[in-house]
Amino acid sequence: MLSSFSVVYRHKPIRVSAAAIFFFGFSGAATSPYMSLIGIRELGLSDAVYSVLIFLAAVVNVSASVTAGIVADRLGHFRSPMILAAIFGIVGFGLVYVVPTPVMFAIATLVLIPVFGTINSLIFANIRAVSSGMAVRELMAVNSAVRAILSASWVLVPGIVGALLIGQPSMLPAFLLASLACVVCLLLFVFGLDRLPPVQEGERQHYSFFRSIRQIGSASVLPRLLAISLISAMLHANGTVLPLIVTGKAGGTPADVGVIVGIVAFLEIIFILFWGWVEARTSILFAMVTAALIYCSYLVFLGLADRPMDVYLLTIVAGLGAAGIIAIPITYLQNLIADRAGLGSSLIAVNIFLSGGMASLMFALGTSISDYAGTAIIASIAGAIGVGLLWLLDRTPQLKAES
């Protein structure tokens, strides 16, 4: 499994992309825990305004990711779009720190930071493009290793930032650190990625914007995207109900929530590499279904937990299932539009958006007919439906790993 990192290290464009995704994760991990705190408590936004702002930011992010993928495919390279996105991040996070007003916070949150967020899918698209001659098994291993690096930033950075800012009257300096992380991304893209020679007109196809959108909505892509989103929605649902169950029915404390989340995040890094090893030796379908069913079982047992120790014991199951749901869809979604690295990788952002929306519906339905424990079980059922749909669509393992 550790050989995945050796593959990443041997290829300079992949090595640079891996470093960039760590600092991309740094920016998010440094600021996400404090977004609502700064927006609502420090800058005075109402709960309703903040909720609308976050929803619209998600819409902007998915729209920008799809657009960036389409444009990058037309350009024939990803360096320029990533440089532009990094500049948006520098300005967005920097504005919040330098001019901490509700208007600037809204502009940064609604436009600048979501556009910077396109770097996530662009990096995986760039890896896909520069790995065109690589064996499928190696590509799966690379995607898993790079995703593990992204997860590592979310494990390490919140604690580091929290330690640096302890005792400070404001958490705004976190946005300065995020802006500096964006500067590192920019430098990596400018000096670490080669300037590719212009691609000859005959070497790439010029798809129109609306034809590209129709491709996402095609019968071969959309049902599979929805199936993956149902599975991924379990992660979002868990993020909502876990703290409520731990501090409610299970009788734990907020400190227990922090420890449990930290343990699962750490385990995810290890298990992401494990799933890369599994899917390379079986098939993407087998690995995806197995990981999803493991997570379904975790949510059921979470709903049945009635003491903190029960949830602690579930961390291994949670980490194992979550790691697969985090990492495996990257290659699967890219393969849905295999001939277009940018558009195929933009499905990563579309999946995040759709799964977040589905999780909100699950929470609304679950809390209207049951309690938080019942909501966890309902999310498990929805995930199982996604597994069933995926199995029906791909039961002939067309996406089987090849050596």
Full pLDDT tens readout for the chain, 403 residues: 556 666 677 788 889 999 999 999 999 988 887 888 888 888 888 888 888 898 899 999 999 999 999 988 888 888 999 999 999 999 999 999 999 999 999 999 999 999 999 999 999 999 888 877 777 777 788 888 888 899 899 888 888 888 888 878 888 999 999 999 999 999 999 998 887 644 444 445 566 777 888 888 888 899 999 999 999 999 999 988 998 999 889 998 888 887 888 899 899 999 998 998 888 888 889 999 999 999 999 999 999 999 999 999 999 999 999 999 999 998 899 889 888 888 888 999 999 999 999 998 999 899 899 899 999 999 999 999 999 999 999 875 444 444 3
Radius of gyration of the chain (CA): 21
Q: Per the structure block, which two tokens stand in for 271?
A: 């298990």
From the number of C-beta atoms within 10 Å of its C-beta (0-12, 13-18, 19+), residue 205 rates as exposed
> What count of other Cβ atoms lies within 10 Å of the Cβ of residue 303?
22
Coil, strand or helix: which one is 394? helix
Residue 283 bridge partners (DSSP): 400
Q: Per the structure block, which two tokens stand in for 246?
A: 């731990």
The pTM assigned to this predicted structure is 0.86
Whole-number Å distance between alpha carbons of 378 and 236:
13
φ and ψ at residue 283, rounded to 5 degrees: -155, 160
Contacts of the segment 285-289: beta carbons below 8 A, 24+ positions apart: 285/390, 285/391, 285/394, 285/395, 285/397, 285/399, 285/400, 286/397, 287/324, 287/328, 288/228, 288/231, 288/324, 288/325, 288/328, 288/329, 288/332, 288/390, 289/387, 289/390, 289/391
Counted residue by residue, the chain has a size of 403
Decide: 88 and 109 in contact? Cβ < 8 Å. Answer: no
